[in-house]
Amino acid sequence: MRGVALTELTPSFVCALGAAAARVLGNGTWLIGRDTRESGSVLENALLEGLQSEGALVVLCGVTPTPALALFSATHQAPAAMITASHNPYTDNGVKIFAVGGVKLSDSVESQIETQLEIGLLADADRRATGAAVAPPTHVDSAVEHYVDHLVALFPPNALAGMRVVVDCANGAMSVAAPAVVRALGAEVTVINAEPNGTNINADCGATHPASLAAAVISDGADAGLAFDGDGDRVIAIDEHANVVDGDRLIALGALQLKHEGALTNDTVVVTVMSNLGFHRAMRDAGINVVATAVGDRYVLEALDAGDFAIGGEQSGHVIYRHLATTGDGLLAGVRLLHHVTVAGHSLADIAAAVMTTYPQVLVNVRVNERHPRIATELASEIARVERELGGEGRVLVRASGTEPLVRVMVEAASDDLARRLADQLASVVRERFAAHS
């Protein structure tokens, strides 16, 4: 759940959410982590009160990357809640809940929590737990240290020796862990955007704003750069020429690396429908099957678990090594990429360029009066016309946003001009039929 901190995502709402989660997932030990937003402490206290109102014992892990909290949840076999709005600005915040073992919730469990939350909000009861029966929370600072040690142990000693790397921590939860891991593996590290002050998380930095990292890579003469988002579950890389290496290329390289190691289960990789056509063709040429899901890392995780597949993710930089982690882990994915570079003996620019050819992709968002979950069916004839014009050398995707009253029109084609023209044509049809008018 995500919204504007303290106004949309209010402390009373988060308190009620904590109580609802405890009623559904149990009132034993719970873990709470947060990113570096100034609203994090207030919402942490609210969540604590809600969990305690149902008798839960709470362990406060402080500022912790999402994958570190998920790992701690798996290690201690306890449910966990991460207070973060990921890549959003500091004014937003949210709550991610993990089931026991650090895994995302199923649809049925989410529905149960939503039902309990609605009941609690309607009752508007005072959930603040008081009295001797309530155990005070335990504060630990070992979750990040545990995560660092865990990641370092996954790689050979000095696996990154000889590399010069710039790490952009987005002034977020990776500000301690990411530099520590990359240094421990032998790389020479320059750290930027690792001085969080509560309001600078994701501010013109990190995975959604890689320009400052690209400039630092060039000025430092680095071999590569890694940029994380606010809670550290996604990563974008920068090669030595300041080119962006996005999630599609990270996943493609990771799949090939696993295949070479004999660890690519069923020779299959999982991505969302937004992955570039060039990715699909590269995987086909490598003899790797592709499973495509709806947009969202939770759907990627579901497909990974259903098929016991080893890797999947999103173009945005969520990369999930499912046999090594329970959720998207930007640092794990980034370090595996750097290790791939050292083992390959070629530059990041060379291996990233060779792994796939990216088809020009144009995305147009059209604001509409209401959500249209069946928009592709409603525009079937128009979509078919565009597909005929592409002649098999491109792809069309029209879908409703899952979180906003938007229709997203995406066209891939052999040229930028063709992709732009066809995307604009489809977007015009959406505006004429469904657009919100002021």
Active site residues: 86
Residue with tokens 């750290």: 191
Q: Length of the chain in residues, anyone?
A: 438
- Closest to 425 in 3D by CA, of 377, 374, 389: 389
C-alpha–C-alpha distance, residues 98 and 433, integer Å: 40
Phi, psi of 57 (to 5 degrees): -95, 125
- Residues with Cβ within 8 Å of 340's Cβ and at least 6 positions away in sequence, in order, are 253, 254, 257, 351
CA-nearest of 30, 28, 35, 63 to 48 is 30
Q: Are 305 and 279 in contact (CB under 8 A)?
A: no
Report the alpha-carbon distance of residue 112 to residue 118 in Å, rounded.
10
Take residue 91 and report the two structure tokens written for it. 């004014």
- Distance between start and end Cα atoms, the chain: 29
Q: Which two tokens stand for residue 165?
A: 């790397």
Strand 92-99 and strand 2-4: the pairing is: antiparallel
Q: Which amino acid is at 327?
A: T
Answer yes or no: are the C-beta atoms of 16 and 32 closer than 8 Å: no
Rounded distance between C-alpha atoms, residue 223 and residue 393, angstroms = 34
Which residues are bridge partners to 70 per DSSP?
none
Name the DSSP letter for residue 199.
Answer: S
